[in-house]
Amino acid sequence: MNDTNNTLNIKKIVIFKHGISYFFLNGRLKGTGTFELEFTIDEMNDILKSLFVLDTSEKGFISSISYDAALEPSQLLKNIMIDIPNVNSFTSIITQLKGARIKVKIGVGGSDEKIGIIMGIEETEQIQNDIKITDKLLVLLLEDTAKIVKIPFSE
């Protein structure tokens, strides 16, 4: 525990078999004060599952509970099954989000808007002046009309 802003006092500790326990802490806050608790990375999963906070004053409210991430953003994204590679990052994210509902704004200033379900990405190849040009298209199932549209990434 850290008493940076306000102090929490231990009122009760109950220890059960197999290492399960609970701690009852009590403290007072003034104004927009905060309590700060410190836990190890290994304890965070249990804390997030069991932390219970109650305002007994009937005068205030608990606006938020926050914690610092213990992992780098890339590791956090891997944990939620989204991998962002160094090459073709945008294409990779879209591919992994297949089936997700999205809103796409197209054109200058996003003047055209399409809402639908991501079906995937298609690549097209064209030859212009003896140069092979590859373009990627977002394949979208439109929500309002159930039509399939292909939106070039260049838009």
pTM score: 0.45
Task: Give the pLDDT confidence score for residue 4 in this predicted structure.
Answer: 47
Residue at 93 is within a domain: yes
Note the pLDDT of residue 147: 93
Positions in the chain short of pLDDT 50: 1-4
Mean pLDDT over the full length of the chain: 82
Q: What is the pLDDT of residue 49?
A: 83
76 falls within a domain: no
pLDDT at 81: 66
- Helices (H) and strands (E) in the chain — how many of each? 3, 6
DSSP conformational letter for 95:
H
In this predicted model, what pLDDT tens digit does every residue of 44-72 receive, in sequence order? 888 888 888 888 887 777 878 877 766 67
Among 70, 95, 127, identify where a domain stops. Answer: 70
- Is there a single domain that holds both residue 126 and residue 97? yes
pLDDT value of position 35: 85
Same domain, 111 and 55: no
Residue 145 main-chain phi, psi, to 5 deg? -115, -10
In DSSP terms, 117 is beta-bridged to 101, 141
Six token digits for residue 135: 């373009």
